[in-house]
Chains A and B, each alone.
Chain A
Amino acid sequence: MRRNPAPLALTVPAAVGVAFLALPLIGLLVRTPWSRLAGDLTSGGSLTALRLSLVCSLGALGLTIVFGVPLAWVLARVDFPGRSLLRALVTLPLALPPVVGGVALLLAFGRRGLLGSLLHGLGFSPFSTLGAVLAEAFVALPFLVLAVEGAIAGLDRRHEDLASTLGAGPITTFRRVTLPLVAPALASGAVLAWARALGEFGATVTFAGSLPGRTQTLPLDVYLTLQNDPEAAIAESLLLLVLSVTLLVAFRSRWLGAWTR
């Protein structure tokens, strides 16, 4: 017995799609200055930017988990007027151009923003590592919230009901039943949020500027280096590529499977 061959009308566009995704990566690998790679990457600027990127993206990830998980629970479990509006609002940063996000952040938390004088009084300035963390958290939050909210909403409510008949209060139930049951979704959401934060450019440069060592993360560094030293920029791009691929490969098999199902 033979299966029908896959129709060309589908396989050809699919192959074009793959080529479109793969060619830029191949170009990057072909043009990488392998001989001076080590030197480029260990130069002060690259290492500083890499370290800053890791610090900022992990900080942003921490913020999205601390605020995103409770937000996801509220969206999934609490019935209140305007819930669907709030849900749309949470996903807004996904659709918003990051630059616009940066402008919006400035208008809220910048020196002349809504909370500007209050935050300034507390010693906060957007042009700081904390500013870069906020910008990255802003764009990364929806990834985590969407993944976790979907998982909680799809959770069999019986488990939570049973926990309450067994004497568990709402916090115990959340901590010991709800959270463990959505752990796979939380992990995949966290990976996506982290990857998004790691690659963040527009909101960061708009809101926090590009100060070496403080807000100039690796993507910003790549963009600036490209003007003066394209080969060094290629080396840094390769670094980001390896980082992203490692992230995805490390978690894909274990967690993303649960998320995509």
Chain B
Amino acid sequence: MDPVTLLAEVVTDTAVPLDVELRCGPGEVVAVVGPNGAGKTTLLRTLAGLVPMPRGRVVIDGHDVTSRLPRQRRVGLVTQDGGLFPHLTALANVAFGPRSLGAGRRAADAVAREWLDRLGVGNLAALRPDRLSGGQAQRVALARALAVSPRLLLLDEPLAALDVATKTDVRRALRTHLSAYDGVCLMVSHDPVDAVLLASRIVVLEGGRVSQDATPAEVTRAPRSAWVARMLGWNAYRGRLTHDGLALPNGGALVAADPVPAADPVPAAGAGLAVVPPWAVALHRRRPEGSPRNVWSGTVTEITPLGARLRVAVAAAASGPAEPPGPAEVVAEVTTAGGAALGLADGINVWVTVKATEVTVTRL
């Protein structure tokens, strides 16, 4: 069996009740993503011992810490803006943990200086937080969390408050230090890009529950939640599972080449999710020849340039006599040249086709 650093069954009575099970190995960097109000921050605070947990357990390195106070858990926490103590210098902030754990002033300062140097902010040791930039404060906050050698590192949106340039810089620092870290790191993010770039595993949290727990490649290839699909710019549709795909609430349907997930023991029933990447959606001015499985007509409602491509939103026309309507709205990505050849413009009528092999259906 693989070694387990963190084993958590988190059940809370908070505003968004959590019911989450996690098992993480040493050195694993896990991104916790999800929409606002999914319970991401609450999950971190509960693991840190700051939110009471009526049921469940938290085991770190084989020690059950469920009933331990935050200060006895050996967790490090970094919040969105760093959460540095405003009245202490960078050095004193980082030395705070070692001193609280019983180190003498001199020893604690030495540890703090070492961590500040390691994170490239040793020259800022004497400054108070109000003199630090957002990126510098985040590095100091990371140094402070790591200075107590936590076995579980909790990062709550560490990049959210930073501007784009600083974000890249701090992200690089995080990558460097997380790769050398042998504890478990849970990083909350609402930005899938951060998750994909930093984590080896992504946990998607929605409404207090895990809707997907997979590698970044798997999550981007086959998102199992409408939220992730939309964040990736994909089309996502909820509906009812059928024998050949998904029935949509507006009476339409999407046909999938592989309708029921192979691993799913229960065939065709219940709620499902269909995702379609926008580059798999083709547009035509005339009804296409042949027999594509998914074809419907609609009206172009919005065209947005995206680099050398265009994102084209198409609203489905009301149901014709021949075929059922497609999804109420679909976004297609076409090259600028292709769009010009089609003569795309707001308000024109188009035909939409999607190959059945490009429609991924999952159970919800």
B83 touches A167 (CB 8 A): no
Nearest B residue to A180, CB-CB: B87
From 74 to 94 in chain B, residues with beta carbon under 8 angstroms from any chain A beta carbon are: 75-77, 79, 83, 85-88
- Segment touching A, from B32-40, B65-73, B212-220, B245-253: B65-73
A163 touches B100 (CB 8 A): yes
- B83: which of A158, A172, A180, A181 is its contact (CB, 8 Å)? A158
B50 touches A168 (CB 8 A): no
A158 touches B79 (CB 8 A): yes
Which DSSP category, helix, strand, loop or mixed, fits chain B's interface? loop
B87 touches A166 (CB 8 A): no
Give the number of residues in B that approach A within 8 Å (Cβ atoms).
Answer: 24
Asked if B96 lies at the interface with its beta carbon under 8 angstroms from chain A, I say yes
What are the residues of chain B within 8 A of A254 when measuring CB–CB?
A: none
Nearest B residue to A156, CB-CB: B83
What are the residues of chain A within 8 A of B86 when measuring CB–CB?
A: 181
What are the residues of chain A within 8 A of B70 when measuring CB–CB?
A: 161, 164-165
* CB proximity of B60 to chain A, nearest CB, Å: 13
Give the number of residues in A that approach B within 8 Å (Cβ atoms).
Answer: 17
A163 touches B96 (CB 8 A): yes
From 106 to 160 in chain A, residues with beta carbon under 8 angstroms from any chain B beta carbon are: 158-159
* CB proximity of B295 to chain A, nearest CB, Å: 54
A166 touches B50 (CB 8 A): no
- B85: which of A159, A164, A172 is its contact (CB, 8 Å)? A159
What are the residues of chain B within 8 A of A181 when measuring CB–CB?
A: 85-87
CA distance A159 to B148 in the complex (A): 17
What are the residues of chain B within 8 A of A172 when measuring CB–CB?
A: 100
Asked if B185 lies at the interface with its beta carbon under 8 angstroms from chain A, I say no
B100 touches A167 (CB 8 A): yes
What are the residues of chain B within 8 A of A158 when measuring CB–CB?
A: 79, 83
* CB proximity of B330 to chain A, nearest CB, Å: 43
B76 touches A165 (CB 8 A): yes
What are the residues of chain B within 8 A of A163 when measuring CB–CB?
A: 85, 96, 100
- B148: which of A166, A169, A176, A183 is its contact (CB, 8 Å)? A166
* CB proximity of A167 to chain B, nearest CB, Å: 4
What are the residues of chain B within 8 A of A167 when measuring CB–CB?
A: 71, 97, 100-101, 148
Asked if A104 lies at the interface with its beta carbon under 8 angstroms from chain B, I say no
Asked if B48 lies at the interface with its beta carbon under 8 angstroms from chain A, I say yes
Nearest A residue to B80, CB-CB: A158
The verdict on A165 contacting B73 (CB below 8 Å), with A158-B79, A172-B100, A176-B96 known, is yes
- B97: which of A166, A169, A177 is its contact (CB, 8 Å)? A166
Asked if A26 lies at the interface with its beta carbon under 8 angstroms from chain B, I say no
* CB proximity of B149 to chain A, nearest CB, Å: 11
- A166: which of B49, B69, B96 is its contact (CB, 8 Å)? B96
| The 4 nearest A-B residue pairs measured at CB | A166-B97, A168-B100, A167-B100, A164-B70
Question: Can you list 6 A-B contacts (CB < 8 A)?
Answer: A163-B96, A164-B49, A165-B49, A165-B50, A166-B96, A166-B100
- 12 further contact pairs, Cβ within 8 A, besides A159-B85, A165-B75: A161-B45, A162-B77, A163-B85, A164-B50, A164-B70, A165-B48, A165-B76, A165-B77, A166-B145, A168-B96, A177-B85, A180-B88
Task: Name A's B-contacting residues (CB within 8 A).
Answer: 158-159, 161-169, 172, 176-177, 180-181, 183
